[in-house]
Chain A
């Protein structure tokens, strides 16, 4: 049976929600072998968090040099696991770090790389949604062992009753992979709102906010949404660029997307048009965002949003 290897994403003490998803994809093609790269003594606690997933085996590599020297050291460790395991494919969750590890690993083991897959099949082919969801592409690696990064939340993780078996593996990080030294590391600052790319609901503001995001944020807090912004709004300095949704910002695909005062230039649409349900509020009846909207209100967001909020509160009470 094919052996599919995947990297377990974690922050040092807590595993992410992606390993269960990657395991479920891996099971389509064969057995699911997770690789945990951890500091000395941290591996067992991480492995324990993965019981109940579809992972068959876990390979735990404990080496303090990996977190100290960055991507190259992680690639070195992973390449040594690949060399020993000879997997049919390697899966990594799509993130800044995941994609960089995948790109370097592909060169090191001489295999092709595919990023941001939303589907992975038993014949090792993938599906990606490109150009902001305007095209769906099926692709396959044709040289070497495929290295594939998979977007979080592309599949519902399956469950299993048996806990994965755990093996330890020693690796040696060579000097050439230790040229970078990490001297300080701070976890992300978590706001009270959900993360843009993981949120079930996203509400975004654009030029129509005139720089006042108070109504957008108040609605976000009422319905548990993440807050996004159009490029016009981030370029104007009205909202942090990390919240930009669009071609040059984040791509989101939530259950519900509410665009407030956003005209819907292709630059923005490219980042949100695969959302399941799209609601738009805009003063301009000709705004292109209405072509995408399942429900559109031609009106002033500063009138529509507060009224909608009061109505929602009243219905809930």
Chain B
């Protein structure tokens, strides 16, 4: 069984983000592996580890796939230190400004060429937060879509997957035969911290960096020029008016109640 996991390098979700010329300024902030992708990596590891137990060369492998600038290898390396086996990074100046359509196109090309059985993803990236890529991958690959999983059961022998899809609409039990695209929610597990051994091992694991030409995608289909939607303008939110701040000297609660009533907020 070959599992691909789509990962993204994003600005640290604890950091302030800025926009320059209608695009997120990625240079000025620390970049990290998207938090939500760690749940996908953890879940895939929990699936393959028992199956690989005691085997000299692992029969079931996990490959991290990403698209982004050169330094995205740092985020991939983090996933490798958790236990994934290798990575593929599509990096090309022409990709800057790509929209969801282009991202799905590039990722699905790599997935198609890699001969994978399953793709795992987080539900969204913490920067763009569109939450559409897993579904769009299923669409462009023509694979079964099993997304927003709160639990995943993979039957490697029968080549099938069953998940509990958990969304605001409730819980649905759904299943499909390989190949499938699975996205997992935060509730599914507790991602491990990379061990020292894992970090050392990750340094030797392969990351295959490819340009657009290497995967056979035309530069005109991606990036700002190839995007199907465009940002017309972007404005920072005006700062809030300075509010009232008072020290609680025994009547803070009463004053709070007065404020809420006076402003008719409750």
Which A residues lie at the B interface, using CB under 8 A? 11, 70-72, 75, 95-97, 99-104, 106-108, 111-116, 125, 129-131, 133-144, 146, 176, 179-188, 195, 197, 201, 223, 241-242, 247-248, 255-256, 265-267, 270, 273-274, 277-279, 281, 285, 290-300, 303-312, 315
A114-B229, A116-B129, A304-B253 known; A135+B16 contact, CB < 8 A: no
Give me 8 A-to-B residue pairs in the complex whose CB atoms sit less than 8 angstroms apart, sorted by A's number: A100-B134, A131-B19, A136-B235, A142-B227, A279-B260, A298-B252, A304-B256, A311-B256
Give CA–CA (A191, B158) in the complex, Å: 39
Give CA–CA (A224, B227) in the complex, Å: 44
B168 touches A100 (CB 8 A): no
| Closest beta carbon of chain A to B47's beta carbon, Å | 19
Which B residues lie at the A interface, using CB under 8 A? 13-17, 19, 22, 24, 35-36, 99-101, 104, 123, 126-127, 129-136, 138-140, 142-148, 167-177, 186-187, 227-237, 240-241, 243-248, 251-261, 263, 265-266
Interchain CB contact (< 8 A) of B254 among A181, A265, A307: A307
A186-B172, A265-B14 known; A312+B131 contact, CB < 8 A: no
B235 touches A179 (CB 8 A): no
Q: Which of B19, B24, B174 gathers most chain A CB within 10 Å?
A: B174
| Closest beta carbon of chain A to B142's beta carbon, Å | 6
Chain A residues within 8 Å of B147, by CB: 71, 96, 100
Interchain CB contact (< 8 A) of A293 among B14, B135, B227, B245: B245
B167 touches A142 (CB 8 A): no
Chain A residues within 8 Å of B261, by CB: 312, 315
A183 touches B126 (CB 8 A): no
A102-B132, A112-B228 known; A179+B177 contact, CB < 8 A: yes
Chain A residues within 8 Å of B240, by CB: 273, 278, 291-292, 294
Give CA–CA (A317, B200) in the complex, Å: 67
Give CA–CA (A71, B49) in the complex, Å: 31
B16 touches A134 (CB 8 A): yes
Top 5 A-B residue pairs of the complex, sorted by shortest distance between their CB atoms? A307-B253, A299-B248, A112-B228, A103-B132, A311-B257
Interchain CB contact (< 8 A) of B173 among A99, A182, A247: A182
Chain A residues within 8 Å of B253, by CB: 297, 303-311
A11 touches B169 (CB 8 A): yes
B14 touches A267 (CB 8 A): yes
A294-B244, A315-B261 known; A185+B170 contact, CB < 8 A: yes
Nearest CB to that of B139 among chain A residues? A104
Chain A residues within 8 Å of B35, by CB: 248
A304 touches B248 (CB 8 A): yes
A267 touches B133 (CB 8 A): no
Nearest CB to that of B122 among chain A residues? A248
Chain B residues within 8 Å of A223, by CB: 260, 266
| Closest beta carbon of chain B to A148's beta carbon, Å | 9
A141 touches B175 (CB 8 A): no
Chain B residues within 8 Å of A247, by CB: 13-14, 126
Chain A residues within 8 Å of B230, by CB: 139-140, 142
Give CA–CA (A279, B252) in the complex, Å: 12
A103-B139, A180-B175, A248-B13 known; A96+B168 contact, CB < 8 A: yes
Give CA–CA (A256, B259) in the complex, Å: 12
A103 touches B130 (CB 8 A): yes
B252 touches A307 (CB 8 A): yes
A186 touches B245 (CB 8 A): no
A315 touches B257 (CB 8 A): yes
Interchain CB contact (< 8 A) of B172 among A102, A139, A184, A315: A184
Chain A residues within 8 Å of B143, by CB: 179
Give CA–CA (A197, B167) in the complex, Å: 13
B169 touches A125 (CB 8 A): no
B139 touches A75 (CB 8 A): yes
| Closest beta carbon of chain A to B176's beta carbon, Å | 5
Since A70-B174, A182-B174, A291-B240 are in contact, a sample of 8 more A-B pairs with Cβ atoms closer than 8 Å, ordered by chain A residue number, is A72-B144, A113-B101, A136-B234, A266-B15, A273-B237, A279-B256, A295-B259, A311-B256
A267 touches B256 (CB 8 A): no
A107-B136, A277-B265, A315-B261 known; A112+B227 contact, CB < 8 A: yes
B256 touches A103 (CB 8 A): no
A135-B19, A137-B231, A308-B253 known; A256+B266 contact, CB < 8 A: yes
Chain B residues within 8 Å of A71, by CB: 135, 138, 145, 147
A103 touches B133 (CB 8 A): yes
A281 touches B256 (CB 8 A): yes
A106-B101, A295-B256 known; A180+B187 contact, CB < 8 A: no
Give CA–CA (A294, B30) in the complex, Å: 31
Give CA–CA (A125, B229) in the complex, Å: 10
Give CA–CA (A306, B129) in the complex, Å: 37
B237 touches A144 (CB 8 A): no
Chain A residues within 8 Å of B237, by CB: 129, 133-136, 273-274
Chain B residues within 8 Å of A307, by CB: 251-254, 257
Chain B residues within 8 Å of A273, by CB: 237, 240
Interchain CB contact (< 8 A) of A295 among B127, B138, B243: B243
